[in-house]
Each structure stands twice: as structure tokens, then as C-alpha cells.
Structure 1
Amino acid sequence: MASKLGDAIPNEEHAVSVSLPKWKHVEGWARRDHGIISQLQTGYPRFFINRRIVQLAQQLGRWASRLPRDDACYRAATASGKTALLLPSKWMALTCQAHLDGYNKEAPLEDLQVVHVAFDGQLSRVTGHGQQGAAEGASHRDLYMVLYPERLWPQAKAFWQHTGFGISSRLAAHWLGNAPFLQASGLEGGERVPVQEAAQAALALGQRLADLYEAGRDLVFLYPTGMSAIARTALAIRSLQQSGHEHRVAVFGFLYVDTFKVLTEAGLSIDALYTEFAGNPLLGSLDLGRLHALSQTHGFVLAVDDTVGTPVNLCLAPLCDVVCSSLTKMFSGACNVMGGCAVVSPSSPRRQALCQALAAHQQQSGGPATYFASDLVVMERNSRDFALRVAAASRNAQQLSLRLRRHPAVKTVYYPLGSPTQHLYDCYRRPGAGYGYLLSPGHQL
């Protein structure tokens, strides 16, 4: 385990966690202290754009600068003060462009350009604006550069963070090592993308999740990140509403902050209610049965994030319309790949409509290939012992919570077992299952 500030955890190229060994480092990271941030070798990919992705964006910009000066892509990529986000599909790129245009009041739309980059180095501007007509299947041999003025960096970073749409570090590494126009030899590298293995991995992952949630395989939808699962589910739910209808969303409980932000940005301004079980980081439980009854009475979609609870410990699907979960955390367990899922409840009266909306939106936004093949293969391999790890981690967390509650320096321990809402957690806990792998201690000042 790495212990030095900024070291990757684990010590590998595609790690999704970083060492912050002291509390002052955590505080510095939260304040975006340059002295702390500059020492980080990596970080959680939505908060910290992997260095391989940054390197690829820079190389693509240099490649565009070799074009004739009257070429539209040359002008777009080399304009003073421009920088780029790399996204895997045309729809995602146009969505990003439209988002940034809302903040681009000082200049015309020409400040925001989308350039398609083919694996052989061919560049072409993507014309049009917004998401209409943007449906186009993604491929690991195509990338999209969203070029924007540096002054819009905070908004671009927020889009990257709150949607989970950015390319993965494995996809960036594949391009850097194999795209022929990026090689000194001018020849395509020999690394093979495991397309067939990824197709089998997707089937295995889908069935694994279906078994855990006691649902059909056709009710499971995979996404490259947990936040993209939430963002794209929110957009799919919005599409179910009639045109011109004012969309309203309720957030119940103490939601993970980025979930709240992406729901706000999605334009769901009650047609849907989002909640977590258990909550992160206070680990509170809620009366999901009551919320479910209200959703049936008043006709709103109930979506639950069970990343912390897990389907190993809890049976939540019968009491909601759709479950969203980050697969990056315990499901992967190896801290080296991202992923997310949405599972439509087999008992939801909106099951068919939700499945159709999710499937249609997945195709519109680029299709299953937005989840890079190599990432899928790693996720499937990592998750084979998911249930065993959840059981072991839950036992360990329970023992740790008991010890910490007896410690004089600890003011409180937020954990489902022993909490004021334990009785609600127990309502949905599977027989013999635990209370989860996450706890949050509060220290005496």
C-alpha cells in the first residue's frame, strides 16, 4: 500500500485512487491547494483527469497544428487560449458543447468547436449544435475533441466530473501507443483491442448483476462510470415526459453531492425522486417502503443508488423503479477500473417504458462501445468474487465500528448497525447479510 502523498493506489497506470496520508492533505485537496494537487500522480478519474488523457489531448492538438492554415480543424485546434476535452461519442461531445455554450456569453458559438479524430489521424469538424441528430455509434477508433476557451475550464471540468462522460485512461493509452499518426514510425501499433472478449465480459457482467438483483438480463444496463449511469438514467426518465411538460425532481436524504449536481444540470427541475440507501457518508437508512408507496400513489419514478448498500446485503429492487450503482467501488474492488449500472426493477409498473427509454438513450449517446473494451474485461475479472468480498468487508466494518465506539477520541460512528435508523436498514437486509463496508467516524475536537 502506497503511503507517500500523491502515490497511486494501487501502484499501476490505471489506478483510480491516490494516497492522502495525513488529514492536512485531505483538507488541502478539498481546498484545491496547489501545493497538494501538484504532488498527485493520479486521482479519482472524474476529479483528476488522468495524465495519459492529458498527454493524448496535447498530442492531438499538435497533430492538428500540422494541417494547412486555411483548414477549419487547424483554426479550431490552434486558436489562442483553446484547450480540449476528449469524449468517446459524437452525442456526448455535442452535449458538452451545448452545456458550455450556456456559459459562453462573451463570444460567439465559433469559440466552441467539436472535432472528430479518426484512428488514422483524419480530422473533421462536427457541424451543428446540440443533441438533435447526434445519434452515432461509438468506436474505440474514433474520438471527439471539444475545443473551448480556457476561461470555460471550470465549466468544462464540471461537465467532465458530473456526467462521467470522459474517455478512460486505458482508451487514451491505447491511442498513444497504437494510433499510427502518433508513432514515430508512422505505423499502427500491435496492441489488440479485446473486442470479442469484451462482448463476453459484458454478457457475464450483465448476468452477474441480474442474478444479484434477481432481475432479467434485459433489465440491466452497463455504463463506463457510476455518474454516467445516473446522468443517462436521469435523461432517459426525462424523455418519458410529454413535450412541454415541466419536469420536477425530488432529492430525498443526504445525497452524494455530484448526484445532486448532475440531476440539477439534467434539467429535471415531482416526476422522479432520487435517493441513496444507505446514505454516503452518514450511513443513514430511510423508509423506502413508504417512498415506494408514495411513488405508486402519485406516479413518480423512484430511483435508488445502492452503491454503499450493495445487492449482496440489501434487497431494494422490489421497492423502487430503478437502481443505479457505481461498479468502481466494491464491485470492482481492485481500484483500477471504472463502471456503473442501472437495473430496472422487475416489479416496476414502468418496467417496459423505462427499459425502452434506457435502451434508446444508450443508442443515441453512442451505444455500448462508449464502455471501452479493455475496461469491460478488467471489470468482469475483478468482480468475480464480489459477494465474498462484500461479506468479508461487512464483517470487518462491523467489528471496527464496535471498537471505535468505545474509543475516547471518537465522538460518534456513522454506521447502519447501532444507528437510529438501523430498524429501517433491517427491513431490507437479506437474511444473514451484513451492514456494509463503509463507516464514518466523527472525532472529538
Structure 2
Amino acid sequence: MSNSFFNHIPCGQTLPQNNIHAVSVSMPALQDVIDYEEQTPEILEKIKSAYPRFVLHPYLRQLANYIEDKYKVNEAYEVVLLSSQKAVEIVSNKYYIHNKIEIDEPFGVILVQKSSRQLQKVLKYIQHVGYNLSSRLAQDYLCDVGLLKEKYQEEYEDQLVSYDNIISILSDAYNQPKENICLNPSGMNAVYCALRGIKNIQSRNGRTVLVQLGWLYLDTMNIVEHYFEENKKFYDVSNLDDLEKYLENEGLRVSAIITEVPTNPLLKCPNLPRLKKLCKKYNIPLVIDSTFATPYLLDLKSYADIYIESLTKFACGNADVLMGAIILNTDSKISHISHEFFKYADMPYIKDLQRMAYEIKDYKSRMKKISSNTKKLVEYFKTSPIIDKIFYCLSEENKVNYENLMIDENSWVGIVSVTFTNDFEKIYDKLNIAKGPSLGTEFTLLMPYTYLAHYDYLQTKEGLAFLNKIGLPKDLLRISVGIEPIEELISEFKKVEKLI
């Protein structure tokens, strides 16, 4: 096998490698993941930069120190950086924060008492809602004040056309007018802004319950908990009977139903015609996170009233830009779908727009290659002696709910999750494929999903029982399939077969 595609990547190396703006980080051994979750001193020495909503970027840490000195901030307070003044207002109002000094900067700054419960809550909240300051903005600022000697060299689209180019590509892909698309500084911020808009509009109509369909991404569920005191969860997307019974009594109190198509990480898909029929009956908007589906693989136009996409994933393809989008469906028959959903959004930083505009140009061709590779990888997995269960879009369990959504017969969603017949840690450690959080990269990226997303559940009998109840295996490997030659990827798995 060629060494040009798959090699061991040391723990703490950014993914993509040697990229200061990378949103993922290499965790090549399962013990690295465990140490990261338990925040051991050894792992913190290795991991200097990781997913920006979870780990403070080194440029932001350096900028916070500079702001502390510039404004002579009392050492009892932590300087917390945010994407904008709008973000400052939202976070400050929620946690009753009132800065004691005037701070004049092109980004948001709040001061929170160190080692306080309030600080922990604020940082966790910013993680959930995605009002993070751009690492590229921090880089530019630090260079301007002489604290950085040079900027990371990368390719950009022209500043004057970047925003319009991104919007135009998404407009064509989703078949929606440009004015129906809003960009956000992260995918989670897109979720937050859409749900906050729903709450503001729907509460006027007595609709105060948000329904969560499926076991959704961790921070999506946290936003649901934060902003909807009344929420109802239905974990099994394949069983709509319980939802239908619930709506018979409570349908006129439901503000929206939010789901993922397909779900992360088990690739399940609800019966969308039946779900849409229920939504129409009770005039409920259906919010679909289409990050896995992308506008190039599954056709959701007949079902989604509002799309949410994390552009950080497949649209970017290189895991080095945080950005999200809200897309309103003009075909929606829900009368109160409006641009209210856009009012809480921040415009992403210009350098992030320029980088995204450069990368999103290949979105369609990238998905075609990823889709083709995914299909071939699944075919191999069906014959592999080390593979136990395979979770993918066209499995027998899912097939009936997918077939009418596929844009063509080869539009396979680019994620596969598997369990193994042998020891999970042994196989995980031996695979010389990039391993870390995030997905949607042009390079194949593996993630021990349950360990990284739900490590707390693995620590108790009750937690393990709950994972079993919702059908989420403890030893699950999520594979975000890349564009490498598929023979090379399969060969890497075959090498491990021989070692087990």
C-alpha cells in the first residue's frame, strides 16, 4: 500500500495536519480519547488545539491575555471572547453579566469571575450555541498588534465575491432563493438561531413545546434543553406511532419538530411522508439538520420547512472553517416561516468567508466521489471478518425510508458506522487512518463516537443501560469517508484484519 494516504498521526497533531485553523485533532489511540475526556495533564500537554467549540484556540488564549493587559482587567476575572457585540448581549442577558469597564474591540468581550460556577456555565453555553470568536480574526488582530510575526498561509477566494459565491452555491444546491439563506459563525449557531426564532414566533400562538425526534447531536439536544422548558423527546425515528398519539392531544401546543436526516451516528431516517403529513395536520414546522444528507445526496425539499447545515463538514471538506447555514424552504406551507429566524445570526468573519468560498467550490464533485467510495466501502465491510454490524444509509432497516429521497441511485450518504467482532481498542489503535472529532473531510476520518460524544454514559450502569435502550453501541466507530482511492482505504482495513 502507498504511504501517501494513510500513516500514523501523532496525538495532538491538528487535522488537517499542520493547519493552525484545523477544527479536529489526532487521537490515534483509544487511551488518548479516554485521557482527553478525563482531562489528564499528559493529554493537555499534547493537545494544544482541537475542536474550537470545545477547546480554546491558542490564538484566542493569546488574544484574551492581550485584552487583559490592554484594559488592565482585575485578575479575579476571566476574559471571555465572543464573535460579536450581539453575542455579548445574548450571553450577558442570560447570565446577568455586566462588564465594569468599557471595551472597544471589533469582537465581543465579557468578564466573568474566575473559578466560579457562572464561568463554567458561560463557557458551556457558548460551546452549545456557537458564538465563538474566529481564529482567523484573532490571527489578524495579533499580527496587527505585533504579537504574531506571520499569518498561516492558505488559499482564499477574493474578498469582494466570497459571501455571494457561498450563497449562490447553496441557493443552487437547495433550489432556494438567495434571500432565504443565512450564514452563521458555526453550525450550532445556525441551530440556535433557528430554534430561538421559532420560540419567539410560536410562543405568541401558545405553541411552547419543542419536539425532538431522534437521539440528536449532543449540543443540539443541549440547545433544546436550554431554550425550551417544555420539550418532548422521541428517541426512535423509525417509530412514529408514539409521536402521532402525542400530537393527537398536544399537536396545537407544538412549536416545531426538529430532527436529523439521517441521524448521527446510526444513519436512521424517519418515514418522512408520514412525518410531513402529521406536521401539516397540526401546522407544525419541520426543522431538518441536513448536514449528513447535504443538498447533493438526498432530496428533502418536500419535507423540510427549515434546513440547517453545518458547513464546517462536507461543504468545507477540509475541517478548517467553522460556519453554518439556515435555509428557509419557499415551498413550506407553514405561514409563519419568516426571516425572524435570521435576526440572531452573526455574519462570519471575512477571512472565514473567503476560505469557505474557496473550498465550497468543490462541494458537488466532492460529494460524488465520497458517495461512490462509501458504497464500495460498505460492500467490502459486508465481507470483512472483523466487522460485526454496519450502520449505513441503505441498510435493509433503512432502505424503505431512503429510496424516494435519493437524488440518484449512487447518492450514498458519506458516513458509515460499524462495530467489530474483535476487541474495539485493539482495532482502533491499529488503524493508520486519521482519528479525531468532526466529519465531512476529504480525508477519511474515524471517530470513536460514543467515547467522544457520550463518555459520561460509559461510566455508570445506568448510563450504559440508557445507551442500550436507544440502541447506541458503546464500541461504535463512525467513519467519515474521504475522497482517497477507495482501494487504499480498504487495504488499510485489510491490513488490520491480518493483525487481529
The secondary structure found in structure 2 opposite 1:161 is helix
Is the 2:210–2:255 Cα contact (8 Å) retained in structure 1? yes
1:330-386 superposed Cα distances (whole Å, 9 cap, x missing partner)? 1100121111101111210236x4332124344xxxx53xx1000000001001011
1:160-217 superposed Cα distances (whole Å, 9 cap, x missing partner)? 2101101010011111111xxx4489xxx999xx999445211111111111111111
Does residue 434 in structure 1 map to residue 417 in structure 2? no
Equivalent positions of 1:335-414 (< 5 A) are 335-350=319-334, 353-362=336-345, 367-368=346-347, 371-414=348-391
Does residue 230 in structure 1 map to residue 205 in structure 2? no
Equivalent positions of 1:241-256 (< 5 A) are 241-243=202-204, 245=206, 247-256=208-217
Out of 71, 87, 91, the position equivalent to 2:86 is 91
Does residue 160 in structure 1 map to residue 126 in structure 2? yes
The secondary structure found in structure 2 opposite 1:428 is coil
Seen in structure 2, the aligned counterparts of structure 1 residues 32 and 332 have a Cα distance that, compared at 3 Å, is same
Equivalent positions of 1:197-212 (< 5 A) are 197-212=158-173
Seen in structure 2, the aligned counterparts of structure 1 residues 95 and 334 have a Cα distance that, compared at 3 Å, is same
Q: Match for residue 136 of structure 1?
A: none
Q: 1:38, 1:292 → 2: CA distance?
A: 49
Seen in structure 2, the aligned counterparts of structure 1 residues 433 and 266 have a Cα distance that, compared at 3 Å, is farther
1:252-303 superposed Cα distances (whole Å, 9 cap, x missing partner)? 0121111111122123622111000111111111111211111111121110
Question: How many residue pairs were aligned?
Answer: 388
Q: Which amino acid aligns with 2:93?
A: A
Q: 2:129, 2:67 → 1: CA distance?
A: 23
Out of 219, 235, 247, the position equivalent to 1:258 is 219
Q: Match for residue 278 of structure 1?
A: 262
Unaligned runs of 5+ in 1: 66-76, 102-108, 120-140
TM-score, scaled to structure 2: 0.73
The secondary structure found in structure 2 opposite 1:145 is strand
Q: 1:310, 1:248 → 2: CA distance?
A: 28
TM-score, scaled to structure 1: 0.81
Does residue 418 in structure 1 map to residue 395 in structure 2? yes
Q: Which amino acid aligns with 2:103?
A: V
Seen in structure 2, the aligned counterparts of structure 1 residues 268 and 195 have a Cα distance that, compared at 3 Å, is farther
User: How far does residue 304 in structure 1 lie from its aligned partner after superposition?
Assistant: 0.3
Q: Match for residue 14 of structure 1?
A: 21
Is the 2:87–2:108 Cα contact (8 Å) retained in structure 1? no
Greater mean deviation of Cα atoms: 414-423 or 240-249: 240-249
Q: Percent identity?
A: 22
Out of 281, 284, 294, the position equivalent to 1:300 is 284
Q: Match for residue 113 of structure 2?
A: 148
Is the 1:117–1:142 Cα contact (8 Å) retained in structure 2? no
Unaligned runs of 5+ in 2: 1-6, 231-253, 424-500
The secondary structure found in structure 1 opposite 2:302 is helix
User: How far does residue 402 in structure 1 lie from its aligned partner after superposition?
Assistant: 2.0
1:306-344 superposed Cα distances (whole Å, 9 cap, x missing partner)? 111111010112212101010001110012111110111
The secondary structure found in structure 1 opposite 2:116 is helix
Q: 2:380, 2:101 → 1: CA distance?
A: 56
Q: Match for residue 118 of structure 1?
A: 104
User: How far does residue 38 in structure 1 lie from its aligned partner after superposition?
Assistant: 3.0
Q: 1:413, 1:184 → 2: CA distance?
A: 49
The secondary structure found in structure 2 opposite 1:382 is helix
Give the superposed CA RMSD.
Answer: 2.6
Does residue 44 in structure 1 map to residue 51 in structure 2? yes
Is the 2:256–2:286 Cα contact (8 Å) retained in structure 1? yes
Q: 2:292, 2:151 → 1: CA distance?
A: 40
Q: Match for residue 32 of structure 2?
A: 25
Does residue 54 in structure 1 map to residue 61 in structure 2? yes
User: How far does residue 143 in structure 1 lie from its aligned partner after superposition?
Assistant: 3.4
Q: Which amino acid aligns with 1:217?
A: K
Greater mean deviation of Cα atoms: 317-326 or 406-415: 406-415
Q: 1:244, 1:312 → 2: CA distance?
A: 36
Is the 2:79–2:109 Cα contact (8 Å) retained in structure 1? no
